[in-house]
Amino acid sequence: MVEEIPKLYETEEIPAEKKIIYQKWEIPQIGFYWFIAELDKKQNLAFGYANLNDDNFAEWGYISIEELMDNGASLDREWKPCTFDEAQKRIRQYQR
């Protein structure tokens, strides 16, 4: 699965809502989640969307996978790749 994730900057020309989200990391107890759209496997650095339980301050940016793990985030192994728009819909359904 990790092999399928585009390298950093490979999806730069794709609008955010159409980017494919390949992984979801989360700390469900506090409502934090991260969507991964690109990954540099050597540096363990990703580009994606971070929501720290506040939709108003959620944003796209670079994410250290190591830092996620160090802070107790876990990879959602049930996650199926989808567009960012679809990922947002899944999150809203889950939060109900």
pLDDT above 90: residue 80: yes
Q: What is the pLDDT of residue 92?
A: 86
User: Among 76, 64, 62, 12, which Cα is nearest to 87's?
Assistant: 76
What is the pLDDT confidence band of residue 85, given thresholds at 50, 70 and 90?
very high
pLDDT digits (tens, 9 = 90+) for 9-67: 999 999 999 999 999 999 999 999 999 999 999 999 999 999 999 999 999 999 999 99
Q: What is the pLDDT of residue 95?
A: 62
Range scoring the smallest mean pLDDT among 43-47, 67-71, 86-90, 91-95: 91-95
Q: What is the pLDDT of residue 93?
A: 84
Backbone Cα Rg of the chain: 12
Residue 50 CB neighbour total at 10 angstroms: 17
Q: What is the arithmetic mean of pLDDT over 75-95?
A: 92
User: Among 95, 93, 87, 94, which Cα is nearest to 35's?
Assistant: 87
Q: What is the rounded distance in angstroms from the CA atom of residue 21 to the CA atom of residue 5? A: 9
Q: What is the pLDDT of residue 1?
A: 56
